[in-house]
């Protein structure tokens, strides 16, 4: 039989087979020794070993380009005021936590597509070179393989179900992230409003104390009172100034927090807090379980565990598939048919199974059963915790609402007392200390009332968040947040 001359590359490949085998035989132990001999201390945390990396500070400190024009326009339309809803929307569209959750969802959606790809035919191709039969010599072949699963008792289906459940769990995490960022922004807006209001009260208190100080100085100079009266007034004045500085410091703290969340610079001219939040909160209507992100997440965790159990059961069964192969000789005599450059084709039905793998399958099913029970308990526990918070916030709201009425009446009573003291002071029946104490009581009562009022606002937004109604209340449904469509 005439033999054609081998191409240079294939001839070299044939001669190199033995050399490659020798290299692999010697290299594998060396590689294993290198890996096993690695003496890194995995329990050691050495900051010097961490890689340096750069963060684009501007990317997280300024408004995203697609938000900036809208935010500026909306603020302009309402006279430069920033309202609660707009602040929440701006924060959501720039917060890195939402971006990370969106990227994780995209990753998990790719995992779903990967699991579905097992439904489609699988192709493989390669080139082989070697001595297939003694006496024939070296051969090079081009190989093409195809495999199509026909029936697998639910192996692929349960892989897809697992991936979908994890993807839905990630969607629930996104909803929870949106609720959390919305709550943080609402708390910042409410507390800025709180301390802006308290600053006005303190400034009014300082003005009143200063007025009393002027009167005591005049009366002391005229010899109508002792020098102790202006000294007491000065002490109260300085105390009020200190209170003003403390309140301004707290205001700056929350302004910095809102600046971090929204990227908008202080000072803030905030719109009045929307009274409709009370009605939209639906205090006496408990939310459905499928409205709560933490419960949704736990439920899909249970569904993923259930799919894993079904997959473990399906792995006990065989898989029926259709396989085909084409082997095309490139050089040398093909041992299939003893022809130069011959072709060999096969098409077959294949039933594959691993009838015995020790106790691993039973253990996998057992572990999946435990995971199902754990996820069910986690879901019920999450709903129980949410129910407890709902009851607590509801009681706080209703209790604070009643308390506000009492505080307002108390404040009016103290104001009338101060007016009476002023009249009596003019005729010498009251001292300057009585006036100062009355002003102090008014300041305390007004501050207590304002704090209670804004605490009730905080309870409202916390109630809205824990009941899963934030997206509806803040008009986020049917909108797109960082590429995520919310419905």
Structural Rg of the chain based on CA atoms? 38
Distance CA 320, CA 203 (A): 83
pLDDT at residue 142, as a whole number:
85
Q: What is the mean pLDDT of the chain?
A: 82
Strands 333-334 and 339-340: antiparallel
pLDDT at residue 319, as a whole number:
87
Q: Where are the domains of the chain?
A: 81-120+152-318+353-471
Distance CA 246, CA 447 (A): 14
pLDDT at 184 over 70: yes
3-state secondary structure of 315: coil
pLDDT at 75 over 70: no
Work out the average pLDDT over 194-218.
93
CB atoms within 10 A of CB 449: 18
pLDDT at 76 over 70: no
pLDDT at residue 74, as a whole number:
47
Dump pLDDT digits (tens) for 364-391.
Answer: 888 889 999 999 999 999 999 999 999 9
Nearest to 158 by CA among 376, 353, 364: 364
Dump pLDDT digits (tens) for 2-51.
Answer: 444 444 444 444 444 444 434 444 444 443 344 344 444 444 544 444 44
Nearest to 169 by CA among 301, 308, 314: 301
Contact (CB, 8 A) for 319 and 351 = yes
Distance CA 84, CA 153 (A): 54
Comparing 478 with 335, the larger pLDDT belongs to: 478
3-state secondary structure of 223: coil
pTM for this prediction: 0.78
Instruction: Quote the tokens at residue 211.
Output: 């007025």
Contact (CB, 8 A) for 324 and 145 = yes
pLDDT at residue 50, as a whole number:
47
pLDDT at 430 over 90: no
Task: Indicate the pLDDT class of residue 133, thresholds 50, 70 and 90.
Answer: low
Dump pLDDT digits (tens) for 321-357.
Answer: 888 888 887 776 666 666 666 677 888 888 888 777 7
pLDDT at residue 345, as a whole number:
83
Nearest to 383 by CA among 482, 266, 321, 468: 468
Task: Place domain 81-120+152-318+353-471 in its CATH homologous superfamily.
Answer: Outer membrane efflux proteins (OEP) (1.20.1600.10)
pLDDT at residue 332, as a whole number:
63
Question: Per DSSP, what are the bridge partners of residue 324?
Answer: 146, 347
CA angle centred on 330, ends 8 and 349, rounded to 5° = 150
Stated as kind and residue range, the H or E segment containing 200 is: helix 155-221
pLDDT at residue 402, as a whole number:
94
Task: Indicate the pLDDT class of residue 290, thresholds 50, 70 and 90.
Answer: confident
Cα 27 from chain centre: 47
Write the DSSP assignment of 123-156 as a string of letters: EEEEEEEEE-STTT-EEEEEEEEEEEEEE-TTHH
* Count, residues in the chain: 487
Work out the average pLDDT over 300-329.
88
Lowest mean pLDDT among 39-43, 94-98, 207-211, 315-319: 39-43
Task: Indicate the pLDDT class of residue 457, thresholds 50, 70 and 90.
Answer: very high
Burial label for 316, CB within 10 Å (0-12, 13-18, 19+), is middle
CB atoms within 10 A of CB 383: 17
Contact (CB, 8 A) for 271 and 78 = yes
Number of Cα atoms under 13 Å in the Cβ half of residue 374: 9
Question: Per DSSP, what are the bridge partners of residue 326?
Answer: 144, 345
Cα 249 from chain centre: 30
pLDDT at residue 9, as a whole number:
42
pLDDT at 71 over 60: no
Work out the average pLDDT over 270-291.
90
pLDDT at residue 229, as a whole number:
86
Lowest mean pLDDT among 163-167, 252-256, 450-454: 163-167
pLDDT at residue 88, as a whole number:
96
Distance CA 18, CA 279 (A): 82
pLDDT at residue 33, as a whole number:
44
pLDDT at residue 132, as a whole number:
59
Distance CA 319, CA 303 (A): 24
CA–CA distance from 348 to each of 149, 241, 261, 367 (Å)? 12, 92, 62, 37
């Amino acid at each position: 039989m005439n033999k054609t001359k081998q191409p240079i590359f294939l001839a070299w490949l044939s001669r190199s087979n033995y050399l490659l085998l020798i290299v692999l035989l010697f290299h594998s132990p060396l590689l294993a020794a290198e890996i096993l001999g690695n003496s890194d201390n995995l329990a050691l945390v050495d900051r010097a070993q961490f890689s340096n990396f750069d963060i684009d500070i501007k990317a997280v400190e300024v408004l995203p380009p697609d938000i900036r024009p809208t935010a500026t326009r909306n603020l302009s339309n309402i006279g430069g005021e920033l309202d609660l809803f707009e602040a929440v929307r701006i924060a959501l569209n720039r917060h890195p936590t939402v971006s990370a959750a969106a990227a994780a969802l995209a990753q998990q959606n790719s995992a779903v597509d990967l699991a579905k790809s097992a439904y489609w035919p699988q192709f493989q191709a390669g080139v082989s070179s070697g001595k297939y039969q003694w006496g024939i010599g070296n051969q090079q072949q081009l190989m093409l393989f195809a495999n199509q699963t026909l029936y697998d008792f639910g192996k692929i289906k349960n892989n897809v179900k697992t991936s979908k459940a994890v993807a839905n769990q990630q969607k629930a995490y996104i909803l929870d992230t949106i609720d959390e960022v919305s709550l943080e922004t609402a708390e910042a807006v409410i507390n800025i409003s709180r301390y802006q209001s308290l600053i006005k009260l303190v400034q009014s208190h300082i003005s009143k104390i200063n007025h009393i100080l002027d009167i005591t100085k005049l009366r002391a100079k005229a010899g109508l009172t002792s020098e102790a009266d202006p000294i007491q007034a000065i002490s109260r004045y300085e105390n009020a100034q200190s209170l003003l500085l403390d309140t301004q410091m707290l205001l700056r703290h929350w302004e910095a927090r809102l600046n971090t969340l929204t990227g908008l610079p202080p000072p803030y001219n905030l719109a009045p807090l929307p009274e409709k939040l009370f009605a939209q909160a639906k205090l006496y209507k408990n939310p459905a379980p499928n409205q709560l992100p933490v419960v949704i997440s736990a439920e899909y965790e249970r569904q993923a565990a259930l799919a894993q159990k079904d997959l473990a059961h399906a792995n006990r069964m065989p898989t029926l598939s259709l396989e085909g192969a084409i082997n095309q000789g490139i050089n040398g005599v093909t041992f299939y048919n003893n022809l130069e450059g011959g072709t060999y084709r096969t098409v077959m039905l294949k039933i594959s199974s691993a009838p015995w793998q020790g106790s691993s399958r039973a253990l996998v099913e057992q572990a999946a059963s435990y995971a199902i029970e754990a996820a069910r308990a986690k879901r019920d526990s999450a709903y129980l915790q949410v129910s407890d918070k709902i009851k607590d916030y509801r009681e706080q709201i209703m209790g604070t609402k009643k308390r506000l009425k009492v505080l307002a009446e108390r404040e009016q009573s103290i104001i009338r007392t101060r007016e009476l003291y002023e009249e009596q002071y003019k005729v010498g029946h009251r001292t300057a200390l009585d006036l100062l104490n009355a002003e102090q009581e008014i300041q305390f009562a007004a501050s207590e009332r304002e704090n209670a009022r804004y605490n009730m606002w905080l309870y409202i937004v916390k109630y809205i968040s824990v009941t899963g109604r934030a997206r509806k209340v803040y008009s986020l449904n049917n909108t797109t947040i960082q590429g995520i469509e919310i419905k």
